[in-house]
Amino acid sequence: MSEGPTGRGRGAGTQSRSSGGTDDLAELLRRSAAGDETAFAQLYDATCTKLFGLVVRLTRSPELAAEVVQEVYLMAWQQAERFDPRRGTVLAWLCTMAHRRAVDRIRQSQRERVRDEQYELRQAGSPSDETWGEVEQSLDTEEVRSGLGSLSELQREAVCLVYYRGYSHRQVAEHLAVPLGTAKARIRDGLNNLRSALGVQR
């Protein structure tokens, strides 16, 4: 089974509508493994509250927890045939997957945050700042404006936000509603192209 049943995307963390005893859950999972979407929906309703509570305690983010829970149920749908009742209950199996997935997402978020912070530190006093300083020192305002006209619209918008309005890279990303890496790339490429267009020597 490569795709999960539809219609279960919302409601993680809502009150379960079935008590879901151990034997009942095992039977629902067995039927789910055979492609029974109704059984899987019942399994979801019987266990989603407990899984959501577990994940939100780990992530401390209801939004992230909801994403993790949905990923776990997709995994459960795809891997239902692999469940071995001799190794534990269905609920324990689901909770183990939820815990592992939550930890993975937490670590991913931490790595992304550290990477962004390191990038910001490297950018402080970076060649992009030197480039702008050289442009301002070598050319008058009209020439700079003319050079900006040679940039693509996306590059020009990003560069102007930084150097005319004093935005940080993160503020540019938020203003343009793009990922931080995309905003940084537009600024970097725009400055490099501006330097080339105006003939500023390295």
**For the segment 18-47, what is each residue's pLDDT rounded down to a tens digit?**
445 667 999 999 999 999 999 999 999 999
Say if residue 178's pLDDT is above 50: yes
- Which pLDDT does position 12 carry in this prediction? 47
Evaluate whether residue 71 is within a structural domain: yes
| pLDDT tier at 94, thresholds 50, 70, 90 | very high
End of a domain among 117, 145, 160? 117
My answer on whether 182 and 132 are in the same domain is yes
91 within 8 A of 50, measured Cβ to Cβ: yes
| Distance in angstroms (rounded) separating the CA atoms of residues 40 and 78 | 11
Q: Of the given ranges (74-83, 91-100, 104-113, 177-186), which has the lowest mean pLDDT?
A: 104-113
How many CA within 13 A on the CB side of residue 111?
A: 6
| CATH number of the domain that residue 57 is part of | 1.10.1740.10
Q: Which residue has the higher pLDDT, 5 or 85?
A: 85
Domain count, the chain: 2
* Residue 7, in any domain of the structure: no
Question: pLDDT: is 198 or 6 the higher one?
Answer: 198
What pLDDT was estimated at residue 145? 66
Closest Cα to residue 42, out of 22, 28, 27? 28
Q: Are residues 149 and 111 in the same domain?
A: no
Residue 59 confidence class, pLDDT cut points 50, 70, 90? confident
Judge whether 175 lies within some domain: yes
Q: 194 or 12: which carries more pLDDT confidence?
A: 194
Q: Give the C-alpha separation, 152 to 76, whole Å.
A: 46
Q: Is position 159 within any domain? A: yes
One domain, residues 180 and 162: yes
- At 78, is the pLDDT very low, low, confident or very high (cuts 50, 70, 90)? very high
Domain annotation covers residue 2: no
Does 134 share its domain with 103?
A: no
Q: Round the average pLDDT of the chain to a whole number and report it.
A: 77
Q: Give the domain range for residue 30.
A: 22-117
Same domain, residue pair 130 and 160: yes
Task: Select from 86, 117, 148 the last residue of a domain.
Answer: 117
For the chain, give the percent of residues with pLDDT over 70: 67
CB 47 within 8 A of CB 91: yes
Query: Is residue 147 assigned to a domain?
Result: yes
170 within some domain: yes
Q: Tell me, what's the pLDDT at 147?
A: 72
Give residue 61's pLDDT: 87
Domain boundary among the residues 66, 98, 117 is at 117
